[in-house]
């Protein structure tokens, strides 16, 4: 079975409600025929999800807490996200890991919660520049996969997309070469075959993220194991993001 091509945008802490609605209106006017995923700020989820009801834009969140409710000031639960209209969540994004110090075990709890709730997760992994320079890329990826996916069943893997995002390439303008990205993706698939089986490894979508732009997406996506992209900066403007989606086809 051919894997679906998936393009997702991560707006990070950008866009108020009105800016999000303006974006959606402009993006929709560009007639992008492919489905796209947008991880928007929490405040924009509900209005954006309403505005996207009859479109091919799927709205999601950038993070969530693993508990269903409780004394977790400033946090958000999966039930809140679902009721607001989110259809997916990013888990383990490098900014959560490195700026907010989230570790693999906390990320695993979030993945387990999303899996239990049949909610789609984009599980982000990737090595730092130092780890790549020390030849630790494979070890880091294997560890993040093994710890992050602990106790996630084969069936629950249907609701998980992996995003390989080398930390040194996020928001820096430095993109992994298509060959470097392909090597990492093929290794991730081998790890998934070890953790689960060949069928799961072959069916699971693995996205590349890290300074993806309209002019480098085609070459990245032409690689055998790259099934799409998670895009930060270039998803912030509807014209560049729609061009990127078109160039990925
Ligand atoms: C990201 O935020 O996941 C990302 C890949 O950002 P950028 O495209 O800006 O590097």
Regarding pTM above 0.75, the answer is yes
* Local confidence band at 166 (pLDDT 50, 70, 90 cut-offs): very high
CA–CA distance, 123 with 39 (Å, rounded to integer): 13
Give the residue among 190, 201, 183, 60 at the shortest CA–CA distance from 127: 183
Token duo for residue 126: 């990737």
In this structure, are residues 117 and 66 in contact, taking their beta carbons and an 8 Å threshold?
Answer: no
Q: In what order do the strands lie in the sheet with 6-10?
A: 57-60, 36-39, 6-10, 228-231, 206-209, 160-164, 120-125, 88-91
Structure tokens belonging to residue 119: 């909610």
Indicate which atom in ligand 1 lies nearest the CA of residue 231: 8
What is the rounded distance in angstroms from the CA atom of residue 184 to the CA atom of residue 110?
A: 24
Residue 211 CA, ligand 1 centroid: distance in Å: 6
Provide the pLDDT confidence category of residue 69 given band limits of 50, 70 and 90: very high
Pocket test for ligand 1, best of 95, 210, 234, 235 (most atoms within 8 A of CB): 210
- Which atom of ligand 1 sits closest to the CA of residue 90? 3
**Atom 3 in ligand 1: which residue has the minimum CA distance?**
232
Protein residue with least CA distance to atom 1, ligand 1: 232
* Residue 139 a catalytic site member: no
Q: How many CA atoms lie within 13 A of 31 on its CB side?
A: 0
Report the pLDDT value the prediction gives residue 1, as an integer from 0 to 100. Answer: 63
Nearest to 29 by CA among 240, 241, 238, 249: 238
- Mean pLDDT of all residues in the chain? 97
**pLDDT for 219:** 97
Give residue 91's pLDDT band: very low, low, confident or very high (50, 70, 90): very high
- Average pLDDT estimate for 165-187: 94
Q: Is the shortest distance between the CB of 126 and ligand 1 below 6 Å?
A: no
Q: Which residues contact 93 (CB under 8 A, 6 or more apart)?
A: 10, 62, 63, 124, 165
* Residue from 95, 102, 127, 165 carrying the catalytic annotation: 165
Amino acid 126: pLDDT: 98
pLDDT, mean of residues 82-89: 98
Please give the average per-residue pLDDT across 205-226, as a whole number: 97
Q: Report in angstroms the alpha-carbon separations of 196 from 26, 45, 163.
A: 42, 33, 18
Pick from 88, 176, 160: nearest CA to 126: 176
Confidence class of residue 90 from pLDDT cuts 50, 70 and 90?
A: very high
The answer to whether 67 and 77 have CB atoms below 8 angstroms apart is yes
* Smallest CA separation from ligand 1 atom 2, residue: 232
């Amino acid at each position: 079975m051919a894997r679906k091509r998936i393009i997702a945008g991560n707006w990070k802490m950008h866009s108020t409600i009105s800016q999000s609605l303006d974006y959606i209106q402009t993006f929709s006017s560009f007639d992008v025929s492919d489905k796209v995923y947008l991880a928007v700020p929490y405040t924009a989820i509900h209005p954006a999800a309403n505005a996207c009801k009859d479109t091919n834009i799927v709205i999601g969140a950038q993070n969530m807490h693993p508990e269903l409710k409780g004394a977790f000031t400033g946090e958000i639960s999966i039930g809140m996200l679902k009721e607001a209209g989110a259809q997916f969540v990013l888990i383990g994004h490098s900014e959560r890991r490195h700026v907010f110090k989230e570790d693999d075990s906390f990320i695993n709890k979030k993945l387990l919660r999303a899996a239990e709730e049949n909610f789609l997760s984009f599980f982000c992994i990737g090595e730092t520049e130092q780890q790549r320079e020390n030849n630790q890329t494979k070890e880091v990826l294997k560890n993040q996969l093994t710890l992050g996916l602990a106790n996630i069943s084969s069936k629950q893997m249907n609701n998980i997309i992996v995003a390989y995002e080398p930390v040194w390439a996020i928001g820096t303008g430095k993109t992994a070469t298509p060959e470097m990205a392909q090597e990492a993706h093929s290794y991730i698939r081998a790890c998934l075959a070890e953790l689960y089986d060949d069928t799961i490894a072959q069916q699971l979508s693995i996205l590349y993220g890290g300074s993806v732009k309209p002019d480098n997406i085609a070459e990245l996506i032409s690689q055998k194991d790259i099934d799409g992209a998670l895009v930060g900066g270039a998803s912030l403007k509807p014209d560049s993001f729609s061009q990127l989606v078109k160039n990925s086809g």
